């Protein structure tokens, strides 16, 4: 039996006050709910990596970290602007792992920056909103089976938070 990976710490008690004020729904703080921004292994690794990255590089763009993570995971760093259902379906048929992992990573990165810094870089926001638009497509929601509606509602909530003022 393999040991489960250690989960990062995530609590309103040790996050930026702006994050606490904005992330009022309990699902935002879940590390185990697959419909939440931090509810998968990609997100756990992204959150941990962002914290380390910020400690080591307080001024560098989080996009640089994203590029490093995607390269490490052998995930394609393309298709960010695809939101048309047919185009997204084609990307998924070509490389489903990259499509899903890329979306998980950018959403987690956006919420990591909010949690750690109480702000959100414009390019991180742009890519995360595009990822959430893709994730809201029926073909991708269907993977959540009995929780598809819940996932869709949570995507709407995540999009609303990311669309707020984070300068």
Tens-place pLDDT, residues 37-66: 999 999 999 999 999 999 999 999 999 999
Global pTM value? 0.94
Average pLDDT, the chain: 94
Task: Spell out the residues 6+ positions from residue 156 whose beta carbon is closer than 8 angstroms to its own.
Answer: 136
d(CA 167, CA 113): 11
d(CA 77, CA 68): 10
């Amino acid at each position: 039996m393999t040991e489960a990976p250690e989960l990062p710490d995530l609590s309103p008690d040790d996050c930026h006050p702006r994050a606490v004020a904005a992330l009022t729904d309990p699902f935002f703080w879940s590390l185990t709910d697959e419909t939440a921004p931090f509810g998968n292994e990609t997100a756990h690794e992204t959150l941990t990596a962002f914290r380390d990255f910020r400690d080591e590089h307080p001024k560098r763009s989080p996009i640089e970290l994203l590029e490093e993570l995607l390269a490490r995971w052998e995930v394609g760093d393309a298709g960010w602007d695809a939101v048309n259902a047919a185009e997204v379906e084609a990307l998924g048929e070509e490389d489903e792992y990259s499509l899903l992992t890329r979306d998980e990573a950018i959403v987690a990165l956006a919420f990591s920056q909010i949690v750690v810094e109480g702000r959100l870089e414009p390019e991180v926001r742009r890519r995360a909103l595009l990822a959430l638009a893709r994730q809201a497509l029926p073909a991708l929601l269907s993977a959540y089976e009995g929780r598809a509606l819940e996932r869709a509602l949570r995507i709407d909530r995540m999009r609303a938070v990311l669309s707020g003022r984070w300068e």
